Amino acid sequence: MKTFALSPSSGAGTPDVAGFFDPRTFSVQYVVSDPATRQCAIIDPVHDFDEKSGATATHHADELLAYVKDQGLQVQWILDTHPHADHFSAAQYLSEKTGAPTAIGEKVVEVQKLWKELYHWPDFPADGSQWDRLFAEGDSFRIGELEARVMFSPGHTLASITYVIGDAAFVHDTLFQPDFGTARADFPGGDARQLWRSIQAILVLPGATRLFTGHDYMPDGREPQWESTVREQRETNKHLAGGVTEDDYTAMRDERDSELPMPKLILHSLQINTRGGHLPEPEANGKRYLKIPLDALEGAAWE
């Protein structure tokens, strides 16, 4: 199975994009680098977790560090697109290893408030202080000489953002590959109509813009893929092409989502990812514990 691919820079102002696929969670991690300065950012890194044994590990994050070292890169940013529901974020681990600051969208505080209630964390600071920077719509930053900007892309979650870096856009869980369609919008705080509007904002980017997704579920058993273009998405995405309207899309998405079971790690992951990737503090016996609320996601479909 293909688990790595490099999408090379096409010239000045465009990044090299290395994608790393995790078959356990169907997630894609990225190292986005400036060929001119060898500066880079890591996007949506995975901290390994086995829900059957409760074991944690850093195999995938260490793979990213090995690539960075091998390529002679310097990590400038650790970026998450949103608080993930299907894997732990390795942002904190990688920040500790590299010294690079962590960042996410500013609306993460709304997600924190929501999950603070679900987990019954009365003392939890839902203020985004677990990250070094909170990005707002239109914010800009640099990776070496590359220009990067932030688009607010809610719908899948309240806090989802898209990073546009040169000719590449990291669209997290708004769009998947055209043969799989688009993301669900039924998580707490999600909204199908907002998701449609976020997708439309992405699809007005130049047609040649490279789009990099957060997951691939390999329909019909094909090899993993995670790169497309705006033009390909406009013309062939199974949920969007052919004159689909906002109302059509919203009705389709709501009906489809009502039949989907929740991700198996949503209640595990959000208590890590709303903390910026920090694992729970060890208790008196030296062990860390997760807290799983029962009957918290009312109405979710059973598998």
pLDDT in the model for residue 242 = 93
Q: Two tokens at 105?
A: 């969208």
With a threshold of 0.95, does the pTM exceed it? yes
- Confirm whether 296 is domain-assigned: no
- Confirm whether 26 is domain-assigned: yes
- Confirm whether 247 is domain-assigned: yes
pLDDT digits (tens, 9 = 90+) for 203-255: 999 999 999 999 999 999 999 999 999 999 999 999 999 999 999 999 999 99
Residues 98, 297: Cα–Cα separation, whole Å: 37
Closest C-alpha to 263, from 214, 209, 203: 214
If one counts the domains in the chain, the total is 1
Q: Environment class of residue 10 by beta-carbon count within 10 Å: exposed (0-12), middle (13-18) or buried (19+)?
A: middle
- Confirm whether 34 is domain-assigned: yes
- Placement of tokens 């969670």 in the chain: 25
- Confirm whether 301 is domain-assigned: no
User: Which DSSP helix (H) or strand (E) runs through 129?
Assistant: none
User: Which DSSP helix (H) or strand (E) runs through 5?
Assistant: strand 4-7
- Confirm whether 2 is domain-assigned: no
Q: What is the mean pLDDT of residues 139-164?
A: 98
pLDDT digits (tens, 9 = 90+) for 79-91: 999 999 999 999 9
18 has which bridge partners?
Answer: 6, 31
Expressed as residue numbers, the domain containing 184 is 11-273
